[in-house]
Amino acid sequence: METIKLKRGKENLLQRRHPWIFSGALAHQDKRLENGAVVKVHDFRDRFLAIGHYYNSSIAIRILRFDEGKIDLSFFIEKIKNALKLRKALGLIDNEECLVYRLVNAEGDGLPGLVIDWYNGVAVISASSAGMKLQENLIVRALKEVLGASLKAIYSRHDEKDGKYLFGKTSVPHLVKQYGHSFLVDWESGQKTGFFIDQRENRKKAADYAQGRKVLNAFSYSGGFSVYALDGGAAHVDSVDSSAPAIELAVKNAELNNLSENHHGIEADVFDFLTNHKNEYDMIIIDPPAFARSISRRHNAVTGYKRLNALAMNSIGSGGILFTFSCSQVVDNRLFEDTIRAAAIESGRDIQLLERLSQPADHPVSIFHPEGNYLKGLILRVS
């Protein structure tokens, strides 16, 4: 295990247990180090600080532990056991009404760069760091050890072009339940790991507001919000997405829940659709993909959120409800609210903030890593 030293004074962030070390903090970078290598981190006086995965990028080291233990099978077993223990405490394990949840949430569960989603017997792995990709075999062995007979298959999904089964195999779309609602999930060709699990509680909240309303679910993907809104008594729901396969899945999911009578799937660009449909809806849900994945793209993201929300505000009748979200990690809560405020000013409408929303408890955030609080949402009333 190679040792990397930090510059004088750069150990402060680690002493606050933040799990990232940026490249500017390194006293030197060894060109021979492989991306994903496990390294020790020492301060400028050569005192041990932590162990992590190295990567030649702006986030140079992702911390795995703050003691001098090993990064081996036992390490991953312990981490996954702890993650499973939390989900059991949340009532998500062996719950026939909720067969989909996040088992491991990266830094929130002490495993930076690793997400594992659970779909009714199938664990879908998404490793965003080179270190976690290199240790995939250990992760698979740990999952088998911890989950036992309940584990039917493991699928690795690093990006939309790179996926494979690491253990077992099953057909997709795969049927899961969430709060009693049935959904078809496709982790092989769908977005992310196949389903946006992080909106579980917010979908339930949307159902509470949907009674008797004409609802637009923008960026609908597979229709999660649409199914909940229809079950909550919406008069009608339009699911709009630019992806034809997504709309096809949304239509199937409405049918699967016997809610297709008042549902319409529309393949369209959301910005264009909102421009051409003024004051037609009593409730709009905007859940776009991340508009920015880096600081350099943040300004463009803010511009996009402002335009999108101003259009939505002008597409709602008086007294309408707007659910608006951002999953861009580089856009924090304050910036998001400031952006929505700017959109409200541009729309010329009176807007009331009713509730603030976030990710559910199976997407925990380390108190030392506030960046993990990536999902931000607002419920607004438009007069």
Mean pLDDT of 320-324: 97
pTM comes to 0.93
pLDDT confidence of residue 160: 65
First CA to last CA across the chain, in angstroms? 61
Q: Do domains 2-65 and 196-382 have the same CATH topology?
A: no
pLDDT confidence of residue 167: 96
Mean pLDDT of 319-342: 92
**Among 1.10.3720.10, 1.20.120.420, 3.40.190.10, 3.30.750.80, what is the CATH number of 73-172?**
3.30.750.80
**pLDDT tens digits, one per residue of 108-148:** 999 999 999 999 999 999 999 999 999 999 999 999 999 99
Residue 50 Cα distances to 20, 39, 47, 59, angstroms? 11, 9, 10, 15
What pairs with residue 46 in β-bridges? none
Mean pLDDT of 201-213: 97
Please check the confidence at residue 231 and state whether its pLDDT lies above 70: yes
Domain-by-domain residue ranges, the chain? Answer: 2-65, 73-172, 196-382
> Is 327 among the residues known to form the active site?
yes
Q: Say if strands 214-218 and 281-286 run parallel, antiparallel, or are unpaired.
A: parallel
Instruction: Determine which one of 106, 218, 249, 327 is catalytic.
Output: 327
Please check the confidence at residue 298 and state whether its pLDDT lies above 80: no
Please check the confidence at residue 299 and state whether its pLDDT lies above 70: yes
From the list 228, 229, 167, 170, the residue with the least C-alpha distance to 194 is: 170
**pLDDT tens digits, one per residue of 357-381:** 999 999 999 999 999 999 999 999 9
Average pLDDT, the chain: 93
What pairs with residue 182 in β-bridges? 177
CATH superfamily of domain region 196-382: Vaccinia Virus protein VP39 (3.40.50.150)
Confidence of residue 161 (pLDDT cuts 50, 70, 90): low
2-65 sits in which CATH class? Answer: mainly beta
